[in-house]
Amino acid sequence: MSKEALKKQALKTIDEKADEIKKIGDDLWKIPEVGYREYKTAEYVETQYAQMGWHYQDKLALTGSKAYLKPKKHTPTIAIVGELDSLDIPTHPEADPKTGWVHACGHHAQVTAMLGTGFGLDAVKEELDGNVALLAVPAEELIQMGFRNSLREEKKITFMGGKQEFIHIGAMNDIDLTIGSHSSGSLKGARLGTGGTENGFIAKLVKYKGMEAHAGDHPDEGINALNAAMLGIMGAHANRETFRDEDHIRFHPIITKGGEIVNNVPAEVNMESFVRGATVESIKNANKKVNNALRAGAMAVGASVEIIDVPGYMPYHRDPWLDAVLRENCLQLEERVPIGGHSCGSTDLGDFSCIHPTTSLEMGGITGNHHHRTYQIVDKETLYVLPAKALALTVIDLLYDGASKAKEIKEKFNPVIPRDEYTKFMERLVD
Ligand SMILES: [Zn+2]
Ligand SMILES: [Zn+2]
């Protein structure tokens, strides 16, 4: 069959299943779960794999899974990624009333588009070389660091991000190229977007220890850990003018514990933060300054501080050749496909992008801001169905004709980190 005929067939299949795909999006929206806790979501996704008769592995990095459209012997393998996790934003009107969890970053739409892509490609897979793996990955949002650190201490995970963990456990060893997706509020009326880069970061847990004492009677006997933390934050602020514009540094701490009882001097204060930047070098430099400032806060009042730095995500660079194929296919569906600039946000697709060619699709269909109470889905065709089409067409291009395009892109790629050195490389980041 010609490539154009295969593309037509895939589009037809996705159109026929459009209602089913939208229902998946609706269903997933209703079961938001935060990272490394996506048990219901995982079960839902795996039920879909089973219904399609796809062979799959489950419980990867606790809740992740990987389904193959064809037997594993077919290579190269292109992974389509869907992130399983939601956010915790209790102020969102549609947040789960019990947990406060909500898909205000739209990751449920990625999983929906991933499954829709699988449906479309399943209809033409025998005509394609190579293989397609659907990757349902946990924990993209690096939140609830205390909980994740306890998972690390229990040796249930090594990394706080799901894709990092996928690399670490070897789940990416048989993947040659990766394509992700993300909803976007910056498409200015367009329905699909491509291109752009993102910051990477180091994550940190900060624990200030002081001494409790009666806050009214004997503050002289106390050591105020909250004052230490506030001075630490102020010290970091005093460094901001030293951060170069082009490095896009971000430091945005939260205090997760601010003391014990109101009539005592706070004895223990816990913070979480990232230090983000556009390059590994700039992140490391800024991180050093931030840590000095945080320590100075403790020193100023005689408290102590423990800083636990953990590897965050690598800066994200889309593979230009893979992105070009994605873009070409978006333009077959839409007249206007904006190209993204640099985002100071981060994604663990950045880590994938260091080990093999990676890109991702930006999808419209939402209104409001990400991570915000205004985030809403307004166009399910655009958010759930159209991305499946763009991704399916892209994969057909890559795997047609002996998978020549996929092989060529793989050949041209220069890894920032050799895959088998990933864990060591990341651990060295926070030495
Ligand atoms: Zn997010
Ligand atoms: Zn997101």
Where residue 431 falls among pLDDT bands split at 50, 70, 90? confident
20 burial level (CB within 10 Å; 0-12, 13-18, 19+) = middle
Which ligand has the nearest atom to the CA of 372? Answer: 1
From ligand 1's centre to the CA of 260, what distance in Å? 31
**CATH topology agreement for domains 3-196+318-429 and 200-311:** no
Nearest ligand to the CA of 82 is 2
Residue-wise pLDDT tens digits, 247-266? 999 999 999 999 999 999 99
Give distance in angstroms: CA of 140 to centre of ligand 2: 7
CA of 264 to the centre of ligand 1 (A): 37
Q: What is the per-residue pLDDT for 72?
A: 87
Domain ranges of the chain: 3-196+318-429, 200-311
Work out the angle at residue 384's Cα, subtended by the Cα atoms of residues 134 and 333, and round it to the nearest 5 degrees: 95
265 CA to middle of ligand 1, Å?
36
Measured in Å, residue 370 CA sits from the centre of ligand 1 at 7
Average pLDDT over residues 25-37: 98
Task: Tell me the CA–centroid distance for residue 263 and ligand 2, in Å.
Answer: 40
- Distance (angstroms) between ligand 1 centre and the Cα of 267 equals 33
First to last CA, the chain: 54
* Average pLDDT along the chain: 97
Neighbours of ion ligand 1 (CB under 5 A): 105
The CATH superfamily holding the domain 3-196+318-429 is Zn peptidases (3.40.630.10)
Q: What percent of the chain has pLDDT over 70?
A: 100
Task: Report pLDDT for 335.
Answer: 97
If one looks up domain 200-311 in CATH, what number appears? 3.30.70.360
Please state, in angstroms and as integers, the Cα–Cα distance from residue 57 to each residue in 40, 75, 129, 391, following that order.
Answer: 16, 18, 22, 22
